[in-house]
Amino acid sequence: MPHPGLPSGEPITVTVRSLRAQHDGAEILVGVVLESGEYREQKNLPVTVEQYYELKLVRGVISEEQYDLLEEASTLCSAIRCGENLLSYGSNSAQLLAQKITRHGFRREVALQAAQTLRERGLINEEQDLEREVEKCLRKLWGSKRIQAHLWSRGFAGDTLSHLPELLSEVDFVAGCEALIRKHYGDVPSQPEEQKRMIASLARYGYSLSEIRAAMEKCR
């Protein structure tokens, strides 16, 4: 158990001094004292109630191995709390939430584990979140390609993203492209160069060339 300030190779005594419930009983704050010769440090390490029972913590001296497990559990507990705070600002896929937790200084494997824990608790519902994101994209008149790219950027993948074709199966993308043309251009530009610029712009919105051509015909 390497630790800053601890003499190298010196034995260390770890004592659990206090166990206090916090966050409405969802966590236990474990107060420990690390001692080795003249070296002494007090630490407060939060763990979830589930972790507390798994670790079988009691007041008194614990082994260095038990302390290592306690530190790992406390780091995960803090990452879970970080994830909960992030979710209070809006929904996230598990993958995106893990990325955000990592930005707060946690190791990637810890962030992924925290996100998975929150998913298991029902705080992340990726299928519902996917539907909401798709609805937002459709309101912006995006085509299917841009919608899929956006969902990838938001961390949706695998089984969750496999529902996308079903969600888009009834969408009339030609009508969406037509609405976009009328919104930004009023009508199809008569000049070839202007048409090319319009087609390039519509492609960036995620429409296929066939959808663009069909929408242009409807606008004529």
Task: Kindly state the DSSP code that residue 146 receives in the 8-state scheme.
Answer: H
Intervals of CATH 1.10.10.10 along the chain? 13-120
Are 93 and 164 contacting, i.e. CB atoms less than 8 angstroms apart? no
pLDDT along the chain (220 residues), means of 10: 58 94 93 92 96 95 95 98 93 91 97 95 89 94 96 84 91 97 92 94 97 93
Task: Kindly state the DSSP code that residue 159 receives in the 8-state scheme.
Answer: H
How far apart, in whole angstroms, are the C-alpha atoms of residue 164 and residue 167? 5
Residue closest to 34 by CA, chosen among 59, 57, 7, 14 = 14
pLDDT at position 8: 59
pLDDT at position 159: 80
Judging by beta carbons within 10 Å of its beta carbon (0-12, 13-18, 19+), is residue 35 exposed, middle or buried? middle
3-class DSSP state for residue 45? strand
Right CATH for 13-120 from 1.10.1760.20, 3.40.50.1370, 3.90.180.10, 1.10.10.10: 1.10.10.10
Task: Kindly state the DSSP code that residue 170 receives in the 8-state scheme.
Answer: T
Residue closest to 98 by CA, chosen among 159, 154, 26 = 154
Task: Write out the two tokens for 131.
Answer: 């539907």
How many CB atoms lie under 10 A from the CB of residue 73?
21
pTM: 0.73
Q: What is Dmax (Cα atoms) for the chain?
A: 87
Question: What is the side-by-side order of every strand in the sheet holding 27-36?
Answer: 39-48, 27-36, 13-22, 60-62
